[in-house]
Every structure is written in structure tokens, then in C-alpha cells.
Amino acid sequence: QSVLTRPPSASGTPGQRVTISCSGSSSNIGSNAVNWYQQLPGTAPKLLIYSNNQRPSGVPDRFSGSKSGTSASLAISGLQSEDEADYYCAAWDDSLNGVVFGGGTKLTVL
Amino acid sequence: QVQLVESGGGLVKPGGSLRLSCAASGFTFSDYYMSWIRQAPGKGLEWVSYISSRSSYTNYADSVKGRFTISRDNAKNSLYLQMNSLRAEDTAVYYCAGSSSPWSPQWDYWGQGTLVTVSS
């Protein structure tokens, strides 16, 4: 069972805005930065958002991240078919002295 | 361009050992904190181990502590994972990943993964 809680699935139609949540605790999200990864089918994960709301170069501005207290969210606007993937949140956990992941949210573009 | 290439995966019996390697190129390997992350078939990501840029610090997930050892050779631009006392639940694709931020799951670079199967 993952330390970070998330919805196992999400869906939307092309052009819609979708939000994926990630809930943790004071020892992880509450005190450390959240990063988001996108994993397309059959490929390695790719860094999508770092330090809660920063986008690496090359990541479209349709992707945005936010954090409040012990929860974080990933928003995808202008949904496209190529956004269909698994999305993971990750944070350092001070109590475990290691990295914790959310279990992954499978995004389906209808 | 940046490349991380894992090797060493394969089929091993329970209780056996395996050594994974990750060859890095296209970036200053010695400046990066490196990790191993694994993904069991059809499951989510699980962080396994972390090593600092100069090998001063390492840490491990509780699930592998005492059985796995992470190491690196900056002269060879290589990362390693020695896996002993393997169990069926260690079956997964193992990814090496690099972070420019200390002790942060901000992995800028990932390899393509190598599959480890533990089965009799």
C-alpha cells in the first residue's frame, strides 16, 4: 500500500481540464517538495513537475502542479489523446528517510 | 545526448544474487545523486535505494535493507546494485535514475529499465 494516496483512475475528453490529487502527511508532502511523473505505456517514467509547481524544459504549460498543506495536485488542461498515461506523485519522507510514491493514477482520454 | 543504460537483469532463483549495472553518458555523472527505482509487473513505482554523488551517503527502502547494496564508480560513469537473498517479490523492472537535487525524488534522467525475475 502506497504512502501517498491518490485516485487510481481519472478520465476526460479532449480539450477538458483534469486534476489528479495526491494526499500525504506532515512527514512527506507537508514538509518536502512534490514531484510528478508521467509514464506512457511501455516506457520509463518522465519528470513532469518538480518542486511542487516547476516544469522542466520541454514540458508543455498545459501541465501544472500545486501544493497545499499535505496535499498536492496535478492539473492537465486542454487534454490530448497523447496524455493518456499513468501519473505518479513522489516526495521525500522524513520519517521513513526515503522516497514515497503515490500508487499511480491511470488517465484515460475518452 | 543523455543516456542511462541498465544491464544485468535476468531470471534468478529465490535466494540467489544478481548485480545490476547502469552506464551513464551525456551528463556529468559525478555531479548527480543516483537512485534505483523498481516497478513490479502491472504495479506502481517503488523507490529502492539512493547514493550521493561522491558515495558518501546511501540509503535503502526497508523492503531491501540488508539484502541490496548500491554503489557507483564515477571514473567509469557507472552505478551498480548488488542484490542478494532475492525473493519472488523482488521481481520487477529496475530503473536507474539521476537527480541533480540532493535527497530529492527529482529524477531528471531515467534508464529504460532491466527486468529481474525471481522464480524457481
A to B CB pairs, distance under 8 Å: 62
B59 touches chain A (CB under 8 A): yes
Q: How far is CA B98 from the centre of its chain?
A: 10
Cα(A1)–Cα(A21) distance, integer angstroms: 17
Place A1 in a pLDDT band, splitting at 50, 70 and 90.
low
Whole-angstrom CA distances from A55 to A65, A71, A105, A109, B91 are 9, 19, 19, 22, 32
pLDDT tens, position by position, A11-70 = 999 999 999 999 999 999 999 999 999 999 999 999 999 999 999 999 999 999 999 999
Mean pLDDT of all residues in A81-104: 94
Q: How many angstroms away from the CA of A71 is the closest CA of chain B?
A: 17
Share the mean pLDDT of chain B: 96
pLDDT of amino acid B103:
78
pLDDT of amino acid B102:
83
A8 touches chain B (CB under 8 A): no
Q: Which residues of A touch B106 (CB under 8 A)?
A: 33, 35, 47, 50-51
pLDDT tens, position by position, B33-82 = 999 999 999 999 999 999 999 999 999 999 999 999 999 999 999 999 99
Cα(A85)–Cα(A90) distance, integer angstroms: 16
Q: Which amino acid is at B33?
A: Y
Pairing label, strands A63-68, A71-76? antiparallel
Q: Which run of H or E residues covers position A48?
A: strand A46-49
Q: Which residues of A touch B45 (CB under 8 A)?
A: 37, 39, 45, 88, 90, 101, 104
pLDDT at A106 over 80: yes
